[in-house]
Amino acid sequence: MITAKILSADQRILGFEISGHAESGPYGHDLVCAAVSAVSFGAANALMEVAGCEPEIVQGGEGGYLKVILTGKDKEEEKALTLLEGLLISLRTIEQDYSQYITIIN
Residue 42 lies in a domain: yes
Per-residue pLDDT at 13: 96
Listed as own residue / partner, the contacts of 47-56 with beta carbons closer than 8 Å and 24 or more positions apart are 47/74, 47/80, 47/83, 47/84, 50/79, 50/83, 51/77, 51/79, 51/80, 51/83, 52/77, 52/79, 53/77, 53/80, 55/15, 56/15
Residues known to be catalytic: 21, 33
The total number of structural domains that make up the chain: 1
Residue 104 lies in a domain: no
Per-residue pLDDT at 61: 75
The more confident residue out of 26 and 100 is 100
Residue 106 lies in a domain: no
Per-residue pLDDT at 105: 98
Give 50-99 pLDDT, tens digit per residue.
999 999 999 997 779 999 999 999 888 999 999 999 999 999 999 999 99
> For the chain, what is the HEC assignment?
CEEEEEEEECCEEEEEEEECCCCCCCCCCCHHHHHHHHHHHHHHHHHHHCCCCCCEEEECCCCCEEEEECCHHHHHCHHHHHHHHHHHHHHHHHHHHCCCCEEEEC
Per-residue pLDDT at 27: 85
Give 18-62 pLDDT, tens digit per residue.
999 999 999 889 999 999 999 999 999 999 999 999 999 999 977
Residue 47 lies in a domain: yes
Residue 12 lies in a domain: yes
Residue 32 lies in a domain: yes
Per-residue pLDDT at 3: 98
Per-residue pLDDT at 62: 78
Give the domain extent around 80: 2-99
73: CATH: 3.30.70.1490
Single pTM value for the model: 0.93
